[in-house]
A and B are shown apart, each in its own frame.
Chain A
Amino acid sequence: MTEIKIEMKSISKVFETDDVETHALKDVDIVIRAGEYVSIAGPSGCGKSTLLSLLGLLDMASSGTYSIEGLDVSDLSLDEAAAIRNEKIGFVFQSFNLIDEISVFDNVALPLSYKKDLPTDEFIKERVETCLKMVEMSHRADHKPNQLSGGQQQRIAIARALVADPAILLVDEPTGNLDSQSGDTVMAVLAELNKNGTTICMVTHDARYADMANIQLKLLDGQIVKQEDLKVAV
């Protein structure tokens, strides 16, 4: 049996504003195993981003249980959640969220600087170079993010997500801010990573890219309505 990376049981998320309750997610169950490439699709407002936020511990569920690699992360303090994010989760955002004032190298190295035990400079250098190589951006290590194209910035964001060797890569609309050519390049990088064993969970509304995943989850009104196991995990 393949190792379970992520397991969510009966996860719900309710937003409360001015006496109005909005159920963003209702009793969602998800299991993601090592090496899987999961896509989450659905119309706007269906809860995709909320689900990804909960998966990435950027937000906390209103109810339900959640574990990462067997560790219960349902109820963590802000700092505990930050430590788990740093150790086990790699994030790729739609708008890259790179820090313009520091170099590409430093952007990629940033998650390592938040580790409890700060790695050696040699380790950081080696790890960052490896990750940049994986996304074919080694030649831009000294550039500033705003000197790069959107597609290049997104590849840097992927390298940053990989640098701490996370349990899973969470990817939010990775092509949303890119032209189709750059989008295709980024998706090819993700496919290559998955082929090499990286577990990926991606939110997208683009059916073409959703089809690239092994497992496609479809969300509607905060609930998973269909689960298709399209391909056998490598």
Chain B
Amino acid sequence: MRKLILRQKQAWASLKKKPGFMLTVILTMGITLGALLCAITLNYLLLVEPMPYPEQERLFVAEHRLSGAEKETKGVAFTYPGLVHLYKSKEAFERASMLIYGGDVIISHSSQPLVNTAYVTPEFHQILSSPLALGRMFEDSEAIDTNNPVAMLSYDTWQQEYNGSADILEQKINLSGVSYRVVGVLAKNFVEPELGAIGRKTQVWIPFDYNQTGEGARQSFGNISGALNFMGHLKHGVSSSQAVQLLTPLVNDRWIEGVAEIDFFKGWSIDIRVRSVKEVILGESESIAVMLLAGVLGLVLIACANISNLFMSRTAEKQRQMAIQAAIGATKNHLFKAMFAETGLLMFMSIIVALILSQIGFYIMQQYLGAILPRVNELGLNAITFGAAVLVTVVFAMFFAKLSTRMINYRVLNTTLQSSGKGSGLQVSKKTRKILIASQVALATVLVFANFSLLKDAVKTINAPIGFSTENISTLILNFSSTNFPTQEEAIPIMNEIMEKLEALPQVDSLSQSGSPLDGFNVRALTNLANNERYTPFFKGIDHNYFDMIEQPMLQGDNFTLADRKDGANLMIVNQAFAKQLKADGDVLGMQISTGRPEPLKIVGIVKDIAIPGATPIGSNVASAGVPRAYVPNGLGGQTFMLKTKPGQTVSREQLGALLAEVDARYSVFSFNAASDILTQSLFAEITTATTTAVLASLVFLLAGIGLYGILSYGTQLRRFELGARMAIGATRKHLISLIIGDNTKAVLAGFAGSIVLFALAYIGLSDYIQPLLSWQVLPMIVATLILIILVTLFACYWPLRQYINQPAIYSLRAND
């Protein structure tokens, strides 16, 4: 033990004399290992760590897949009666729960916050064994059709909206005019399964009976909704495939019966998909996490190569010290232990930095990647992080110590002190240097190219024109706080008054009684009456100001008028993509389209396509394909508006709340969001990808540049006397620059060849990701990558050389001669 302490003291004393070396190692390894610990912890959490729910091997989600006549997927979402039918059947599942996601305003709260709601049957929390901070979870008294108005709050809602009030269980909260008694508060450590959307946190849990599905949709087998979910424990001994076999006919038969009278669905069918909760939650996150780990491993390898160079240079530098140690009796083992003490100390300090950085990384991921990666809220320094930290510390300390001591020829070392020292300096072999250069080039090429490609795609999406304006436009959605919904006739004068007051606001430039294109479209089943072809375009009810406000150009035909809306005219405007779908030449004006109602809709106009980030046509994953859209005139009683404010002017939510209260106290602000914010939010994944890849690409480039410079500079340094000798016998600067570049060219070319091998290996393992890259379009990226790497290499060849060749030859010879 005393020896160990002594060795550590000696190592520290030795390192203290080289603060630059120490800082470089600690920062390089600290930053890259910090990223590695983050990636390892994330991958463990997503891929290995069980979900925090009991009996999760039986915990499955059933999904409703609607197939067309050709068995093509038309959508994966339940119909309301289909969901209830499945729930009531009790087939395959021992205990199951229905869940509908929604949003509502707590109107009883002074600030009237908009909250995420979930309408669940009691089994939901029972299945998850949800931990509670206060009260109880839903019980049989809240089962379906009991209409018992109670609610459960999330821990954060209790703390943030009710200041953690101790008497919360005695309070009632009012949503949409229904007063719910709070019966429970979930514990802080409750982890909600993110079945709906990654990062969505339910704030108020309400019994299923109170879900906001309209009366019509509750009965209709023709309407599907992505908000409907089904989760439960499979019966013991029933596998997921058996469940599929059992449930598909059960649901399909009922659905076919339900849509028997709708021609549109002729030949269509329902399949039930049964997937584990973990699989549903992970979605595509698994590949994101693995790609992240692969990228970080590339960084670690580059950093490792850089630090290897530094350690080898340091060993060369310490040759005399080691020779003295050998002369006074140090064995090879002693020298290794001394080296290990140094590398161990450096790696220990690096890992401390890495742990601090990984904690910061977890925070950043929770703040910025919560909408992309599931379970990130569970991230934190844990046994896996510390285990990985200990492992990498030991492995890298051993590796660097081994690498350094491998350079030492103990027999030569013993004679070092007796020799003149001329030309006998400890050197990294030419072969090792070449391997290091080639590996640096190979890794850097692969990583720079991969990052370039990701960056290019993300930037392309971010900069892609959306085809409409979001400038100064906000969407206002009203909340109605009573269960006695007004009829259309009652609502119209109220809405007119609200609109008059909104238009009268000095900040408001114009108003549209429609939602923004970014607020979403419905999907509607339509039939072309000319040939009975069926279509499922995105569908939106709009007013006569909609296209002007968002500056979406009308290409042919006419816009709707106020009179059309008043009369409920059966008119339709379609976009270019839908026009081309209906008729190859896109000439569809006057065409009659049926929605299933007696009166068909007549196409009166064609507008230019718009590109909403992430939107793909129904049944397609190809974003580049034009998304078919259809627009109809909406009614005058709609509660969704677009407000265009004058440049530099804003309207507050409070101001709007006061305005609504003046007109009718039953109305309040449900949501009020700037369209530009919604657009940014919808581009969040691309922006995050672009930022991450830009940072990663810069880091890769920097590390690769430093690494290449380090090894080439070291190689040039070792050849100083040779360069001097060559200069002495007449070599000019041009000769020497050509010599160094020529000598390193083979290694660089080997590196490029290595990158092709790495790509080939990556292709075998990740063909789904690589395949789309294999086109002529990547040629400029390849050329750009090669040029960048060649430029870095040329710089790294020339810059260390200049100090020798730009001085008289004697300066290069002096140290050796």
Give the interface of A toward B (CB within 8 A): 53, 56, 58-60, 78-79, 81-83, 85-87, 91, 93-95, 97-101, 110-111, 114-115, 160-161, 164, 172, 177
Contacts and interface: CB of A to CB of B under 8 A. Distances in A.
A78 B422 contact: no
Contact of B817 (A79, A94, A98, A111): A94
A101 B718 CA distance: 13
B817 A114 contact: no
B730 A164 contact: yes
B805 A85 contact: no
Nearest to A80: B732
B730 A83 contact: yes
Contacts of B430: 101
A199 to B, nearest CB: 17
Interface of B: 420, 422-423, 430, 721-722, 724-735, 805-810, 813, 816-817
A87 B806 contact: no
A58 B725 contact: no
A189 B722 CA distance: 25
Given A93-B817, A95-B423, A82 B810 contact: no
Contacts of B727: 58, 82, 85
A82 B721 contact: no
Contacts of A114: 726, 729-732, 735
Contacts of A83: 730, 732
A99 B732 contact: no
Contacts of A81: 808-809
Contacts, number: 86
A26 to B, nearest CB: 19
A110 B420 contact: no
Contacts of B722: 97, 99
A220 B480 CA distance: 107
A111 B422 contact: no
B813 A86 contact: no
Given A78-B732, A95-B422, 18 more contacts: A59-B810, A78-B807, A79-B732, A79-B733, A81-B808, A82-B730, A82-B732, A82-B733, A85-B728, A87-B730, A93-B725, A94-B817, A95-B420, A99-B722, A100-B423, A111-B730, A164-B730, A172-B817
Contact of A85 (B730, B733, B734): B730
A78 B729 CA distance: 13
Contacts of A172: 817
A197 to B, nearest CB: 21
Question: Which of B725, B726, B728, B730 is packed against the most chain A CB atoms within 10 Å?
Answer: B730
B733 A53 contact: no
B251 to A, nearest CB: 77
Nearest to B726: A110
Contacts of B721: 97
Nearest to A96: B423
Contacts of A111: 729-730
Question: Which of A53, A81, A115 is packed against the most chain B CB atoms within 10 Å?
Answer: A53
Contact of A82 (B423, B731, B816): B731
A59 B808 contact: yes
Given A58-B809, A79-B733, A177-B420, A91 B817 contact: no
Question: Which of A87, A97, A177 is packed against the most chain B CB atoms within 10 Å?
Answer: A97
A165 to B, nearest CB: 13
A111 B730 CA distance: 6
A22 to B, nearest CB: 14
Contacts of B816: 95, 97
A159 B422 CA distance: 21
Contacts of B805: 78
Contacts of B809: 58-59, 81-82, 85
Contact of B725 (A59, A79, A94, A97): A97
Contacts of A161: 729
A58 B731 CA distance: 12
Contacts of B729: 85-86, 91, 110-111, 114, 160-161, 164
A58 B420 CA distance: 23
A60 B422 contact: no
A164 B731 CA distance: 13
Contacts of B817: 93-95, 97, 172
B742 to A, nearest CB: 12
A172 B814 CA distance: 13
Contacts of A91: 728-729
A63 B713 CA distance: 35
Contacts of B726: 99, 110, 114
21 contacts: A53-B808, A56-B728, A58-B727, A58-B728, A58-B809, A58-B810, A78-B805, A78-B808, A85-B729, A85-B730, A85-B809, A86-B730, A91-B729, A94-B817, A95-B420, A95-B816, A97-B722, A97-B728, A97-B813, A114-B730, A177-B420
A60 B728 contact: no
A157 B721 CA distance: 15
Contacts of A115: 730
A111 B724 CA distance: 13
A87 B808 CA distance: 17
Contacts of A58: 727-728, 808-810, 813
A93 B805 CA distance: 19
A56 B732 CA distance: 15
A85 B810 CA distance: 13
